[in-house]
Structure 1
Amino acid sequence: MRYPAPLRPGDTVGVTAPSSGVGDALRPRLDHNVRWLRERGYEVWVGDCLGDDRVVSAPKDKRAAELTAMLRDPSVRAIVPPWGGELAIDLLDQLDWDELATLEPTWLVGYSDLCSLLLPFTTRLGWATLHGTNLMDTAYRTPEGLLHWTDLVSGPGPFHQRSPGRHRVGTWDDYRADPGVEDLTLDGTGTWEVVGGGGLDVTGRLVGGCVEIVSMLAATPYGDVPGWAADHAAEGAVVFVEVAEADPFTVARSLHSLRLAGWFDEATAVLIGRTPAPDDDRLSQREAVLDALGGLDAPLVLGADIGHTQPWMPLVTGALARVVVGGGTAEVTQHLE
């Protein structure tokens, strides 16, 4: 694994939208988060690919060029998009992967549609990437037990996090009405569950992402998790997946596809993120997971604080992690080594 240099005050954070951009009505929220970073001593390079007149922020060649320019710049220590979107996958054949392999790694931060880039940057280039929050979420105060993404990329660790046992129920904050909101509303309770009961204490290298995105990469050179995991077989893999909005039938098919592609062959555990996606009268989200993954040798953990339900536990894809769940404990310790 290749770990980017730690992010420190004075370093530059690049802001570009490899997927969806930000319209005028939500620009105050983006500006608020840029100020938040600057107030903490970071320089911020706000790119040009941020428009919202189409489903993506700019034509794919321009998005690829801006992302590459930031990756080439040694002063840029981290790149964080405003949020995800729908079509970041169209950048994969626009990037010069041979050139990227010669560059010093840069922290790439995000989740959701950004998994289209996070995953192959880890599996293809060997770079550690950060599956956590996006720019528009950056100013939120971090709940007790969790770390802010800027903390997690500040050094080698170890970084210890535990679930706060609280999460958000219902819709997210209205950034139009309150672009400066910084307090998370965590009005639901619940902890992580090991399917079948009991607890677990395992180690392995973290890998995974948003189900709707990574399942589209599994049959391509950009989602070769089995090959990557085989290279780290002595350490094992802690695979994490989470659902954004797909119905349970799509989820079941996607997880079956990942299983058949060998994604879980080296897994010491599989973490399933808590999801806001709806159930169906005939199949719940939980049942979809169990239908696809219930027969694995690796233990399944449901309700993890990753993905599309607040709060977010940032995970460094590629990091060596210890996961402990049971008896009211839900902890992840990450070593960036």
Structure 2
Amino acid sequence: MIRYPLLEEGTAIGVTAPSSGVPKDLHELLRQSCARMEREGFRVFCGETPWIQRKAKSAPARVRAAELNAMMSDDGIGLILPPWGGELLIEMLEFMDWDGMKSKWVLGYSDTSALLLAITLRTGIATAHGTNLIDLRGEHSDPTTAMWRAVLSTKTGESVLQRSSVRYQKEWDHANPSPCVFHLTEPTEWKTLPCDPVLIKGRLLGGCIDIIRHLIGTLYGDVRLFQKQMIHNEPIIWYFENCELSSTDLRRSLVQMRLAGWFEHCAGILFGRSGANRAVEDYTEEDAYRELSEELGLPIVYDIDCGHVPPQITFVNGAHAEVEAGGGSGTIVQTFNT
């Protein structure tokens, strides 16, 4: 069964960096983010790793794991919120105390998604793929990003509705800070295959495809066992976002997932917008989506609000979802069924 943490008013937030920390010249962003959370009524406990960044990570794997283990076992902390993702989180998974984890939210995306998926697959504790701490430093959040609080405050057995954004951010403009951090300028358009509209029902799993593909064949990526023991063979809705993969590398990764059995008992697949969608010769990401849809005989929704092209919906690994998409927009209703 799936266990859902509950975000309560005044919850203590543990800030740790299981992947990359924040370099010294950007410490002000981290201070702003922590201060914003405190003004929102949270208590913030910041570890040592978020203030360090050296050789593509915040600290050695054992150090990162020790700090996260301490926060995961601390009854006084209700939410783990890394500053952002990074590159080498996978190094510390083998040092995690999986049996000592308390039920609490872990929220983030990018490299953090390896931790999120591993926690849910290994323990049945629901995890949240969505905003990171640094992106919450603004005076306010856009409506899509702001839903993280409502989603994490949903009680077991209850449901929460999220809608596609109206606009998204095409590129960063750090020289002109926005009160809500993002510069949302481009019209959002969810797209569907093989037809429009589509309705997909199942249990959510996913993350950054660049990262979670490396869990295949490890103790931290046993999807078959999770499906059998935790969700009693209910179908899975996979959601993916692509950070850096070319269209052919994306295709290789999806074929590897299919060959590894990750798409068995799958109801459909969601793909986030990506700034990395680079064609190889004339092979595009849409070609990869179309071929996967035809191979699996499943609906695909793409260019959704997920990942490195904000804003993003908060997806809960393990939750039951109903995804409706058509006419360029969509909704997702997540129900916290055990």
**1:27 aligned to 2:27?**
yes
Name the % identity.
Answer: 35
Following superposition, the deviation at residue 146 of structure 1 comes to 5.8
AA at the equivalent of 2:272: G
What is residue 253 of structure 1 aligned with on the other side?
A: 252
What is residue 13 of structure 2 aligned with on the other side?
A: 13
Q: 1:49 to 1:183 in 2, by over 3 A?
A: closer
**1:265 aligned to 2:264?**
yes
AA at the equivalent of 1:25: D
Unaligned runs of 5+ in 1: none
The normalised TM-score by structure 2 is: 0.92
AA at the equivalent of 1:78: L
Q: 2:199 aligns with which of 194, 198, 201?
A: 201
C-alpha separation between the residues in 2 aligned to 1:53 and 1:201? 45
C-alpha separation between the residues in 1 aligned to 2:43 and 2:88? 28
Per-residue Cα deviation, 1:4-27 (whole angstroms, up to 9, x for no partner):
442223221000100011012211
Q: 1:48 to 1:180 in 2, by over 3 A?
A: farther
C-alpha separation between the residues in 2 aligned to 1:271 and 1:226? 20
Kindly indicate whether the alpha-carbon contact (under 8 Å) linking 1:253 and 1:292 is maintained by their aligned counterparts in 2.
no
Deviant stretches of 4+, over 4 Å: 177-181
Following superposition, the deviation at residue 94 of structure 1 comes to 1.1
Question: 1:116-265, aligned counterparts within 5 Å?
Answer: 116-140=114-138, 141-144=140-143, 147-156=146-155, 157-170=158-171, 172-174=172-174, 181-231=179-229, 232=231, 234-265=233-264
Aligned residues, how many?
A: 331
CA RMSD, 1 decimal: 1.9
Following superposition, the deviation at residue 148 of structure 1 comes to 2.9
The normalised TM-score by structure 1 is: 0.92
What is residue 299 of structure 1 aligned with on the other side?
A: 299
Could you tell which deviates more after superposition, 77-86 or 219-228?
219-228
Following superposition, the deviation at residue 145 of structure 1 comes to 5.4
What is residue 317 of structure 2 aligned with on the other side?
A: 317
Q: 1:60 to 1:179 in 2, by over 3 A?
A: farther
Q: 1:230 to 1:21 in 2, by over 3 A?
A: same
Unaligned runs of 5+ in 2: none
Kindly indicate whether the alpha-carbon contact (under 8 Å) linking 2:202 and 2:320 is maintained by their aligned counterparts in 1.
yes
C-alpha separation between the residues in 2 aligned to 1:166 and 1:178? 18
Kindly indicate whether the alpha-carbon contact (under 8 Å) linking 2:227 and 2:233 is maintained by their aligned counterparts in 1.
no
